[in-house]
Amino acid sequence: MSGLEMSGPALRLTVLVGDGDTWHHRPLATEIVHRAHAAGLAGASVFHGVEGFGASRTVHSARLLSMSEDLPVAVVIVDEEERVRAFLPRLAGLVNRGLVTLEPVEVVRFGESGR
């Protein structure tokens, strides 16, 4: 289990990639989530964007059929700073075209739903 307490300072790791990005024939976002799970991090979520652009400068949009094949995807992980930083080497070699950011956050509540 994660060391994340019910509330307090934490670190948010965000990995921005394209939904067409893969790792050994598996969606890259899925690979990142499974690595975070295996590392025992508090949690990971994948958010699909409807429009965006990155280093290629090409705008991808769900509204444009011809460009809808590589929409933006954000994988967001929040846990204690030490645990997130220890996870960073597990991303090595995975994210070639994406963006990885770290931001300090304050957790207001963390726990299983229904508690």
Task: Spell out the domain ranges in the chain.
Answer: 10-107
Task: Give a three-class secondary structure readout of 50-63.
Answer: CEECCCCCCCEECC
10-44 per-position pLDDT tens digit:
999 999 998 889 999 999 999 999 999 999 999 99
Percent of all residues in the chain with a pLDDT value above 90, rounded to a whole number: 57
Q: Which residue has the tokens 């994406």?
A: 98
Decide: helix, strand or coil at residue 100. Answer: strand
Torsion of CA 41, 107, 101, 113, to 10 degrees: 50
pTM, full prediction:
0.82
49-63 per-position pLDDT tens digit:
877 677 666 666 666
Topology, domain 10-107: Alpha-Beta Plaits (3.30.70)
Which tokens is 89 given? 């080497």
**Residues 6+ positions from 103 with CB-CB distance below 8 Å:** 11, 12, 14
Taking a C-beta distance cutoff of 8 angstroms, is the pair 18, 60 a contact?
Answer: yes
